[in-house]
Amino acid sequence: GQQLNQSPQSMFIQEGEDVSMNCTSSSIFNTWLWYKQDPGEGPVLLIALYKAGELTSNGRLTAQFGITRKDSFLNISASIPSDVGIYFCAGFNSGNTPLVFGKGTRLSVIA
Amino acid sequence: NAGVTQTPKFRILKIGQSMTLQCTQDMNHNYMYWYRQDPGMGLKLIYYSVGAGITDKGEVPNGYNVSRSTTEDFPLRLELAAPSQTSVYFCAARLAGTYEQYFGPGTRLTVT
């Protein structure tokens, strides 16, 4: 089945630093999604992208839908301790097909 | 509006025991999903349902069964628990025609 390659697998950063992570696929998606999972919780949607080349922001988070439709990027600016968690990318096409999730990037923020 | 609820939150099973993980959603969403998340790993799709009476296998269905007799409920059944089924199980729901998937808080299962 389809797979998403997410990198890096984990990151340790200092509070205040910017963070970048990305997700690539061997096949095209019509929608890219970024979720965050806080420790002990279920994932929650952060940002959704619908169009190739689209750049969307949600507070300190910015995500981009790659022009090839096979990749997406998430940036977090000026990280804070509550940014700790696992960030998942997900690709979606349409209809009944389930979302395809990446394996996640585990972010740790050192105060 | 509770969203997606899961019970129990935690459970310890002995090898060979059976149990049902409950999932209920009050959003009238058509699609429901069961995932497992092993320690330090991503989400693996076990089963999903596009509506009452319809279920489909995901990536890792072996050892599990599901049913969808109502729109609201999507229970996951383990018949003969094995240590390999130790994991955190998440249920999710999505409205047809939309992309946002809402997750429950998870059930942490240990099989010893």
Considering only CB atoms, which chain A residues are within 8 Å of B42? 6, 88, 101-104
| Interval A5-34 mean pLDDT | 95
The closest CB to that of B50, out of A41, A43, A96, belongs to A96
Contact B59 A44 (CB under 8 A): no
Distance CA(B98)–CA(A104), nearest Å, equals 22
From A111's Cα to the closest Cα of chain B, the distance in A is: 22
Q: What are phi and psi of A15, to 5 degrees?
A: -55, 135
Determine the straight-line distance between the first and last CA of chain B, rounded to whole angstroms: 36
Instruction: Look at residues B32, B63, B69 and name the one whose alpha carbon lies nearest to residue B50.
Output: B32
**A40-89, pLDDT tens digit by residue?**
899 999 999 999 999 999 999 999 999 999 999 999 999 999 999 999 99
Contact B101 A44 (CB under 8 A): no
Determine the straight-line distance between the first and last CA of chain A, rounded to whole angstroms: 40
Judge contact between B89 and B21, C-beta under 8 A.
yes
Judge contact between B79 and B18, C-beta under 8 A.
yes
SS3 A17: coil
Q: What share of chain A is helix, strand, coil (3-state, %, to 5)?
A: 5, 55, 45
Give residue B40's pLDDT band: very low, low, confident or very high (50, 70, 90): confident
| Residue at token pair 């950063």 | A13
Joined tokens for residue A103: 């394996």
pLDDT, greater one: A20 or B98: A20
B24: region left, alpha or beta (phi > 0 left; psi from -120 to 50 alpha): beta
Hey, is the C-beta of B92 within 8 angstroms of any chain A C-beta?
yes
Among A35, A38, A101, the strongest candidate for a mutation testing the B interface, having the largest count of B CBs within 10 A, is A101
Hey, is the C-beta of B39 within 8 angstroms of any chain A C-beta?
no
**B62-75, pLDDT tens digit by residue?**
999 999 999 999 99
Mention every residue, 6+ apart, whose C-beta is less than 8 A from residue B48: A98, B31, B32, B33, B34, B55, B56, B58
From B28's Cα to the closest Cα of chain A, the distance in A is: 16
Joined tokens for residue B37: 């998340």
Contact B99 A104 (CB under 8 A): no
Considering only CB atoms, which chain A residues are within 8 Å of B33? 98
